[in-house]
Amino acid sequence: MVRPVKPRFVRGPPWIDYFKPRGIPLSALDDVVLNVEELEAIRLKDLEGLEQEECANKMKISRGTFQRILSSAKKKIADALVNGKAIRVEGGNYKMPARGRGMGFGSGAGGPPAVCVCPACGNQQPKVAGLPCSQMKCNKCGSFMMRGG
Protein backbone atom coordinates (compact mmCIF):
# COMPACT_ATOMS: atom_id res chain seq x y z
CA MET A 1 0.00 0.00 0.00
CA VAL A 2 1.29 3.38 -0.93
CA ARG A 3 1.04 5.88 1.81
CA PRO A 4 0.12 9.40 0.86
CA VAL A 5 2.79 11.99 1.44
CA LYS A 6 2.06 13.78 4.66
CA PRO A 7 1.91 17.51 4.63
CA ARG A 8 4.83 19.25 6.24
CA PHE A 9 3.78 20.60 9.53
CA VAL A 10 6.41 22.88 10.89
CA ARG A 11 6.23 25.85 13.14
CA GLY A 12 6.58 29.17 11.46
CA PRO A 13 5.90 29.74 7.80
CA PRO A 14 5.50 28.01 5.47
CA TRP A 15 3.84 25.34 7.65
CA ILE A 16 1.81 23.38 5.21
CA ASP A 17 1.11 25.23 2.05
CA TYR A 18 -1.38 22.88 0.51
CA PHE A 19 -3.83 20.50 2.04
CA LYS A 20 -6.15 18.40 -0.04
CA PRO A 21 -8.65 15.62 0.28
CA ARG A 22 -7.16 12.27 -0.68
CA GLY A 23 -7.91 10.64 -3.94
CA ILE A 24 -9.24 13.64 -5.80
CA PRO A 25 -7.08 15.08 -8.54
CA LEU A 26 -6.12 18.68 -8.02
CA SER A 27 -7.68 19.66 -11.30
CA ALA A 28 -11.06 18.52 -10.01
CA LEU A 29 -10.80 20.35 -6.73
CA ASP A 30 -11.96 23.71 -5.63
CA ASP A 31 -9.76 25.30 -3.10
CA VAL A 32 -10.03 27.89 -0.41
CA VAL A 33 -7.14 30.19 0.27
CA LEU A 34 -6.18 30.59 3.87
CA ASN A 35 -3.67 33.28 4.52
CA VAL A 36 -0.83 32.90 6.96
CA GLU A 37 -2.44 35.07 9.63
CA GLU A 38 -5.56 32.95 9.55
CA LEU A 39 -3.54 29.80 9.97
CA GLU A 40 -1.62 31.34 12.84
CA ALA A 41 -4.87 32.44 14.49
CA ILE A 42 -6.21 28.91 14.38
CA ARG A 43 -2.94 27.49 15.64
CA LEU A 44 -2.78 29.81 18.64
CA LYS A 45 -6.41 29.64 19.62
CA ASP A 46 -7.47 26.12 18.81
CA LEU A 47 -4.25 24.16 18.81
CA GLU A 48 -2.40 25.84 21.64
CA GLY A 49 -5.60 26.72 23.45
CA LEU A 50 -4.62 30.26 24.30
CA GLU A 51 -7.11 32.89 25.35
CA GLN A 52 -8.15 35.25 22.62
CA GLU A 53 -6.38 38.11 24.32
CA GLU A 54 -3.09 36.20 24.48
CA CYS A 55 -3.41 35.27 20.83
CA ALA A 56 -4.03 38.87 19.88
CA ASN A 57 -1.00 39.93 21.89
CA LYS A 58 1.20 37.36 20.25
CA MET A 59 0.13 38.48 16.82
CA LYS A 60 0.39 42.12 17.91
CA ILE A 61 -3.12 42.94 16.78
CA SER A 62 -6.26 44.03 18.58
CA ARG A 63 -8.72 41.52 19.96
CA GLY A 64 -11.30 42.63 17.45
CA THR A 65 -8.95 42.02 14.58
CA PHE A 66 -7.97 38.66 15.99
CA GLN A 67 -11.62 37.69 16.28
CA ARG A 68 -12.22 38.67 12.68
CA ILE A 69 -9.23 36.74 11.40
CA LEU A 70 -10.19 33.69 13.44
CA SER A 71 -13.79 33.67 12.21
CA SER A 72 -12.67 34.04 8.66
CA ALA A 73 -10.22 31.15 9.09
CA LYS A 74 -12.83 28.88 10.65
CA LYS A 75 -15.32 29.62 7.96
CA LYS A 76 -12.82 28.71 5.26
CA ILE A 77 -11.76 25.52 7.01
CA ALA A 78 -15.37 24.50 7.56
CA ASP A 79 -16.07 25.13 3.90
CA ALA A 80 -13.12 22.94 2.92
CA LEU A 81 -14.04 20.09 5.25
CA VAL A 82 -17.74 20.08 4.54
CA ASN A 83 -17.50 20.63 0.82
CA GLY A 84 -14.33 18.64 0.22
CA LYS A 85 -12.19 21.51 -0.93
CA ALA A 86 -8.46 21.84 -0.82
CA ILE A 87 -6.87 24.45 1.40
CA ARG A 88 -4.08 26.54 0.03
CA VAL A 89 -2.04 28.62 2.43
CA GLU A 90 -0.56 31.72 1.00
CA GLY A 91 -0.26 35.43 1.33
CA GLY A 92 -1.52 37.52 4.15
CA ASN A 93 -0.05 40.36 6.00
CA TYR A 94 2.48 38.93 8.37
CA LYS A 95 6.02 39.26 9.45
CA MET A 96 8.59 36.55 9.37
CA PRO A 97 12.35 36.35 9.35
CA ALA A 98 13.89 36.74 5.91
CA ARG A 99 14.57 33.44 4.26
CA GLY A 100 18.13 32.56 3.43
CA ARG A 101 18.87 32.16 -0.22
CA GLY A 102 21.33 29.34 0.05
CA MET A 103 24.31 31.61 0.54
CA GLY A 104 24.07 31.94 4.27
CA PHE A 105 24.65 35.17 6.04
CA GLY A 106 28.16 36.42 6.47
CA SER A 107 29.56 36.49 9.95
CA GLY A 108 30.11 39.92 11.28
CA ALA A 109 28.03 42.83 12.27
CA GLY A 110 25.06 42.14 10.03
CA GLY A 111 23.82 44.73 7.62
CA PRO A 112 23.58 44.32 3.86
CA PRO A 113 25.56 41.59 2.10
CA ALA A 114 29.09 42.84 1.75
CA VAL A 115 30.83 43.33 -1.54
CA CYS A 116 34.28 44.50 -2.40
CA VAL A 117 34.72 46.91 -5.30
CA CYS A 118 37.78 47.29 -7.42
CA PRO A 119 38.78 50.98 -7.49
CA ALA A 120 40.65 50.45 -10.75
CA CYS A 121 38.04 48.76 -12.94
CA GLY A 122 34.83 48.81 -10.93
CA ASN A 123 34.55 45.01 -10.73
CA GLN A 124 32.52 43.82 -7.76
CA GLN A 125 33.09 40.60 -5.88
CA PRO A 126 31.39 39.21 -2.82
CA LYS A 127 33.40 39.84 0.29
CA VAL A 128 35.11 36.81 1.74
CA ALA A 129 34.46 36.33 5.46
CA GLY A 130 37.54 37.15 7.49
CA LEU A 131 39.38 38.75 4.57
CA PRO A 132 39.34 42.54 4.36
CA CYS A 133 38.60 43.90 0.89
CA SER A 134 41.90 45.76 1.04
CA GLN A 135 43.68 42.39 0.99
CA MET A 136 41.57 40.89 -1.75
CA LYS A 137 42.67 41.13 -5.35
CA CYS A 138 40.35 41.95 -8.19
CA ASN A 139 39.67 38.93 -10.39
CA LYS A 140 39.85 41.06 -13.50
CA CYS A 141 42.79 43.34 -13.07
CA GLY A 142 44.58 42.20 -9.94
CA SER A 143 44.28 45.49 -8.05
CA PHE A 144 43.56 45.43 -4.36
CA MET A 145 39.92 46.09 -3.74
CA MET A 146 38.03 48.32 -1.37
CA ARG A 147 34.89 47.84 0.56
CA GLY A 148 31.82 48.58 -1.47
CA GLY A 149 28.40 49.26 -0.24
Question: Would you say 63 or 137 has its CB closer to Zn ion?
Answer: 137
Which of 7, 8, 4, 34 minimizes the C-alpha distance to 22?
4
Minimum CB–partner distance for residue 76 and Zn ion (Å): 56
Cβ count near 124 (within 10 Å): 13
- The amino acid sitting at 57 is N
CB of 144 to Zn ion, least distance (A): 9
Number of alpha carbons in the 13 Å side-chain half-sphere of residue 26: 4
Q: Judged by CB, which is closer to Zn ion: 21, or 126?
A: 126
Cβ proximity to Zn ion: between 61 and 146 the closer is 146
Report the interface residues with Zn ion, using CB under 5 A.
118, 120-121, 123, 138, 140-141, 143
Closest to Zn ion by CB, 120 or 129: 120
Q: Shortest Cβ distance from residue 132 to Zn ion (Å)? A: 16
For 22-66, give the secondary structure using H, E and C: CCCCHHHCCEEEECHHHHHHHHHHHHCCCCHHHHHHHCCCCHHHH
What is d(CA 38, CA 74) in angstroms, rounded to the nearest whole number? 8
Q: How far is the CB of 60 from Zn ion (least distance, A)?
A: 48
